[in-house]
Amino acid sequence: MSRALLILAVVAGLAVLAIFGSVYTVYETQQALVLQFGRFIRTVTEPGLHFKLPFLQNVVYIDRRVLDFDAPAEEVILGDQKRLVVDAFARYRIVDAQRFYQAVRDEQGLRQRIDTVLDASMRKVLGDTPLFSVLSADRATLMDRIEADANARVKSFGVDVVDVRIKRADLPPENSEAIYRRMQTEREREAKELRAQGYELGQRIRASADRERRVIIAEAQKKAQIIRGQGDGEATRIFAESFGKDIGFFSFYRSMQAYRGALDDDNTSFVLSPDSEFFRFFGSSAPDLPQEARARPLPKTTGSTTTTNDLNQALGQIIDQTNPIKIE
């Protein structure tokens, strides 16, 4: 009796194990490979409860989500022979679980392979690209080319590369200083060229303005000379008409102006004969003069010497008296 119970308990236990061993669950984020003694049986992609042969078959779960791979920074030689440190990452999805399992077994094996693939793709694409394109808006096109090349390489792994992005692209430390010095020299050259162009333009503007100023001044001086000449001519005509009416007075007035011009310096003395022609208007034999001109006598001289100060005062009085005379 006890033996029968033992056998029954063993059978019941085996039945329970068989039931639990024949049932497995696939979640929405997974896909499952059913293997029998290591040989592929089928791929299960539908989520839910599924069955398999207990003890003979086993299930391998593979992630079906988009996975990330962060590649280490690599130094790449560009198309213009410049070195660049590129840090990139990729996103991929396992689309063929059977091929994936046969090629790399698990994600750890895939990461080792995809690192090599991504590095080769970057070197291939960037090796034909100059530095300017990598640092410009053309980077998006370059990343698409890297993605297409990486996809072609990982197809045999049952993996589809969804996206490839370059996070950082820097010059190596030993090249940065040389590049910065070259950029500084280039900017200084451009600044000197712009300053030279500005100086040249300034010189042209100043020369043009100076030429216009000279032309304007010359035109103004020309007009001033013409107007002055016309005024002098008109003044001469008026004087000629005025003094022509009384020749004696004109001769007297001009002589008085000559006396004042000749005796203008107070420190000059003249020694002349009293009957000199220079003093012809100072004697009693002078021609008829206006009454105003005879109003005050000239200073008396001591001997034949008269100071210019005395003569100037006398001449000033005579000319001041004759200036207001109106000639009819």
> Where in the chain are the domains?
18-63, 67-171, 247-322
Mean pLDDT, range 113-140, rounded to an integer: 90
* DSSP reduced 3-state for 128: coil
pLDDT of residue 292: 46
**Residue 17 parent element (H or E):** helix 2-21
CB 315 within 8 A of CB 289: no
**Nearest residue to 299 via CA among 286, 285, 287, 317:** 317
- Split at pLDDT 50, 70, 90, the class of 302 is very low
pLDDT of residue 169: 86
Structure confidence by residue, pLDDT tens digits, 65-107: 999 999 999 889 898 888 889 999 999 999 999 999 999 988 8
* DSSP reduced 3-state for 166: strand
Residue 279: other Cβ atoms inside 10 A: 19
**Nearest residue to 45 via CA among 61, 66, 56:** 61
Q: Which two tokens stand for residue 194?
A: 């712009």
Mean pLDDT, range 301-322, rounded to an integer: 50
**CA-to-CA distance for 88 and 167, rounded, in angstroms?**
5
User: What is the average pLDDT score of the chain?
Assistant: 81
- Split at pLDDT 50, 70, 90, the class of 237 is confident
Contacts of 308 (CB under 8 A, 6+ apart): 263, 264, 265, 266, 267, 268, 269, 270
Mean pLDDT, range 286-313, rounded to an integer: 48
Torsion sign across C-alpha atoms 232, 239, 284, 293: negative
Q: 181-195, 248-262, 266-280: lowest mean pLDDT where?
A: 266-280
**Which amino acid is it at 63?**
D
Q: 33-42, 150-159, 302-311: lowest mean pLDDT where?
A: 302-311
pTM of the entire predicted model: 0.52
pLDDT of residue 224: 94
pLDDT of residue 3: 78
pLDDT of residue 146: 94
**CA-to-CA distance for 151 and 164, rounded, in angstroms?**
10
Instruction: Give me the architecture of the 67-171 domain, per CATH.
Output: 2-Layer Sandwich (3.30)
**Which amino acid is it at 220?**
A
User: Which residue reads 């329970």 in tokens?
Assistant: 16
**Which amino acid is it at 230?**
Q
pLDDT of residue 202: 93
pLDDT of residue 214: 94
Concatenated DSSP letters of 73-129: PEEEE-TTS-EEEEEEEEEEEE--HHHHHHHHSSHHHHHHHHHHHHHHHHHHHHTTS
Structure confidence by residue, pLDDT tens digits, 163-199: 999 988 887 877 777 778 888 899 999 999 999 999 9
